[in-house]
């Protein structure tokens, strides 16, 4: 009887349990060239595909790590958190969605800002965060950017001492103004632009870095007001999306429309820079401006 029972066992029962040969998430398929990319190689290459140079979208924390000298980032303006004065409701209340995003990302809103040293040069850095509600600009993002601009503006302290200014670097990546805050969000366009006007009058240097995507109210305000405007390779940059524009004007759009290289030819962007060269390019601009 024992022999009969043993012969009735299937191969699935007899063979030992085998572990998966390839851990999940170890390899990624590039959305541009379609080739498989080893995750650690991608991270070592600053999240740029080693096969076709496709620039992956990254969050604010990773952007700070790539730009700041190690251990020099001093985060500022961290006590601000969005509220829901309009009691906006979509699929769920806005305040509940914000709370869920804060828990998921560990951030209070879609921006990181603070002082850094970039290749030994002190600067003020603001990075919008795509991982938090697609980097949308609400009242907190506008307030943090405004405070960063004012902190970097040359001027005088209350005791009369002269305050030296800092070069200002803002890395934009956003889906636009945050619709859940309606007019309060749109007001940030004017507020940040006014702060930049005062910054410019005081002789400050503003380097705007446009990454994929930079759209909507961010494009229509501070992102396009830089003294020098740099853009990452093939970044989508515009106010409305190309599909909306094509449906509105009922015409075929040029190839590469709203990409960084197209805007460079149009004179809107000063230089298209690969992510590996971005630190060097920003440092070069600061030196050239004598800041």
Do 26 and 135 sit in the same domain of this protein? Answer: no
Number of domains in the chain: 2
Q: Is residue 8 domain-shared with residue 136, that is, in the same domain?
A: no
Q: For residue 35, what are the domain limits?
A: 1-54
pLDDT of residue 31: 93
- pLDDT at position 164, please? 83
Summarised one tens digit per residue, pLDDT across range 27-79 is: 999 999 999 999 999 999 999 999 999 999 999 999 999 999 999 999 999 98
Indicate whether 145 and 94 sit together in one domain. yes
Whether 115 and 219 share a structural domain: yes
Confidence of residue 111 (pLDDT cuts 50, 70, 90): very high
Name which of 87-96, 168-177, 184-193, 206-215 the model is least confident about: 87-96
For residues 19 and 92, membership in a common domain is answered with no
Using CA of residue 255, residue 256, residue 261, residue 262, what is the dihedral sign? positive
Contact 140, 81 (CB under 8 A): yes
240 and 220 belong to one structural domain: yes
Are residues 62 and 39 part of one domain?
no
The pLDDT > 90 percentage for the chain reads: 76
Say if residue 120 is in the same domain as residue 264. Answer: yes
**Same domain flag for 272 and 185:** yes
- 137 and 177 both lie in a single domain: yes
Greater confidence (12 vs 1) lies with 12
Convert the pLDDT of each residue in 180-219 to its tens digit: 999 999 999 999 999 999 999 999 999 999 999 999 999 9
Tens-digit pLDDT profile for residues 61-74:
999 999 999 999 99
């Amino acid at each position: 009887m024992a022999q009969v029972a043993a012969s009735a066992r299937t191969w699935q029962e007899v063979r030992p349990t085998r572990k998966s040969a390839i851990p999940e998430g170890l390899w990624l398929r590039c959305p541009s060239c379609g080739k498989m990319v080893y995750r650690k190689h991608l991270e070592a290459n600053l999240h740029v595909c080693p096969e076709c140079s496709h620039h992956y979208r990254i969050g604010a924390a990773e952007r700070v790590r790539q730009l700041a000298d190690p251990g020099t980032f001093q985060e500022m303006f961290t006590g601000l958190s969005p509220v829901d004065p309009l009691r906006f409701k979509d699929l769920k209340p806005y305040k509940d969605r914000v709370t869920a995003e804060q828990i998921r990302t560990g951030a209070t809103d879609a921006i990181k800002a603070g002082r850094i040293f970039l290749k030994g040069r002190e600067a003020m850095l603001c990075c919008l965060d795509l991982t938090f509600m697609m980097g949308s600009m609400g009242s907190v993002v506008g307030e943090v950017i405004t405070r960063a601009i004012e902190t970097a503006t040359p001027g005088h302290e209350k005791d009369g001492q002269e305050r030296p200014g800092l070069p200002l670097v803002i890395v934009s990546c956003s889906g636009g103004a945050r619709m859940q805050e309606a007019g309060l969000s749109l007001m940030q366009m004017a507020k940040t632009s006014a702060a930049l006007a005062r910054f410019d009058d005081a002789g400050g240097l503003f380097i705007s870095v446009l990454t994929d995507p930079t759209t909507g109210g961010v494009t229509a305000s501070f992102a396009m007001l830089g003294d020098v405007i740099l853009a990452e390779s093939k970044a989508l940059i515009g106010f409305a999306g190309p599909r909306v524009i094509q449906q509105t004007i009922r015409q075929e759009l040029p190839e590469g429309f709203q990409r960084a290289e197209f805007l460079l030819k149009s004179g809107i962007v000063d230089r298209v820079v690969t992510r590996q060269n971005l630190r060097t390019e920003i440092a070069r601009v600061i030196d050239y401006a004598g800041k």
